[in-house]
Homo-oligomer: A and B are copies of this chain.
Amino acid sequence: MLQAPRGTRDFTPGEMQKRRYIEHTMATTFRSFGYGEIQTPTFENLELFTAKSGGSIIDEIYAFTDKGGRQLALRPELTAPVIRCYVERLQMEPKPLKLYYFGNCYRYDRPQKGRYREFQQAGCELIGADTPEAMAELLGCAFTLLKNVGLQNIRMNIGNLTLFNRLFAHFKLEKPAQKTLLPLIDKSLFDDLRVALGDCDLSGEAGDQFINLLQTASLDEIKEFFHKDDIAVQELTTMETVLDLLRNAFQVTDYEIKLGIVRGLDYYKGIVFEIDAPVLGAEKQLCGGGSYELVSLFGGTEVPTAGFAVGFDRTILALEAEGFTFPSPALDVYIIPVNPEMVLTTITIAQQLRKEGISVDFDQLRRGMGKSLKYAAARNALKVIIVGLKELEQQSVTLRDMKTGTQEIVPITRIHSTLKHP
């Protein structure tokens, strides 16, 4: 038997209903924030991703050579493609430019729970604005997006890579040391970090202070540490304005400061953030983003850029773990003709209801009543219409409520109004 490739999935109508619900809610939210949708190709020139993330990314990328000898890659993420599109086509558009996207991404990775080789992301890029109100809105939009899909309990962590870099400078941790430390910080492995700091001649009190600053949620503590550093003080002032707006204007209060957020240090800068769903335990991060610099790397004129991405699979897992009730994929009406002579009338009724936006199916296998009712139940039909000879003589049909089992005789001309106002 032919099978789907390893690490990929088929989505059945019940699963698609969930995904489309999330997509629809997110798209509505993005549009309410003034974002417009963009779509880029599923594959790009491999160079686009190696330019952004270096050659090491090739190991987990679906790279291939096409028949024309071009090195292509199925996209691993959507920020690089959207910025490539901006540089290639949209640089002259009025700023700020607010773009959102939905798209499948690809990762050649060992398949495991919640990690697939093809997975869907939603996200946005804000191009040409970095005022505190613009940054606060970006964070507010990410939070609102996940609230609107129905999540009860989410937490935002807010970091700052400018401050993070100043921290390295203060403790005299140079690039080679950073390379060792970053993965440990990223994974919050603080015991291992302490050992590694010792190897970098940063042990005892200084090491404790470094680790404490990565973990503390107290902005005052951070301000106290940086009070003689002009760059840091300025960054902290801006960040406080962003946080004030986030709290007071966007009504987001479920956040914490966390300097230990590591994102791609080569192109992220300034404010970065993550949103977690605690209900998911270890694999709880749903969303990540911040401000970054990629435009000039791709050959464009530098402008401020920031954005975030949300994973569909974890969002669904979090909603399920919270017991969220997704809209159900019910069929509004199933029509059963009692014999083949009733087919013309059956279809005529079906077509009239379909024009009103009602989902309708009818027995196309000329089965008996019992089998047809069983099929209607399996399809989650809300109502069944039975087209029988006796009722049809009076231009009527039988309307059955599948939940209660009650039946009534309804004139054909009044089926639609009866369905709308039972």
Contact = CB atoms under 8 A, between A and B. Distances in A.
Interface of A: 1-6, 8-14, 16-17, 19-20, 28-29, 31-34, 36-45, 47-48, 51, 62, 64-68, 70, 72, 74, 84-85, 87-90, 94-96, 98-99, 104, 106, 108, 118, 128-129, 131, 133-134, 136-137, 140, 144, 245, 248-251, 298-300, 329, 331, 334, 343-344, 346-348, 351, 354, 357-362, 364-366, 374-375, 378-379
20 contacts: A1-B298, A1-B299, A2-B48, A2-B88, A5-B41, A9-B41, A11-B38, A12-B36, A12-B38, A32-B354, A32-B360, A33-B360, A34-B334, A34-B379, A41-B118, A42-B74, A64-B64, A94-B378, A98-B361, A250-B347
Given A87-B1, A357-B32, A365-B96, A351 B38 contact: no
Contact of A45 (B2, B36, B42): B2
Nearest to A343: B133
A34 B12 CA distance: 15
Nearest to A24: B24
B108 A41 contact: no
A374 B12 CA distance: 47
A367 to B, nearest CB: 10
A128 B248 CA distance: 58
Contacts of A144: 354
Given A13-B36, A34-B359, A131-B364, 20 more contacts: A2-B298, A2-B299, A10-B41, A11-B40, A17-B36, A29-B354, A33-B359, A33-B361, A34-B361, A67-B108, A94-B375, A94-B378, A96-B365, A128-B365, A131-B366, A134-B365, A137-B347, A245-B343, A245-B344, A245-B347
Contacts of A134: 364-365
B364 A88 contact: no
A312 to B, nearest CB: 11
A338 B31 CA distance: 24
A65 B334 CA distance: 46
A248 to B, nearest CB: 6
A67 to B, nearest CB: 6
B38 A16 contact: yes
A88 B10 contact: yes
Contact of A89 (B12, B33, B37): B12
A64 B65 contact: yes
A40 B11 CA distance: 6
Given A1-B299, A47-B2, A85-B4, A96 B37 contact: no
Contacts of A13: 36-38, 99
B88 A44 contact: no
A67 B29 CA distance: 39
Contact of A347 (B14, B36, B249): B249
Contact of A38 (B10, B41, B366): B10
Closest 8 CB pairs of A and B: A13-B36, A34-B361, A64-B64, A8-B41, A249-B347, A1-B299, A134-B364, A32-B354
Given A66-B62, A249-B348, A379 B129 contact: no
A329 to B, nearest CB: 6
B361 A118 contact: no
Contact of A70 (B6, B41, B354): B6
Given A38-B13, A250-B347, A358-B32, A129 B365 contact: yes
Contacts of A108: 66-67
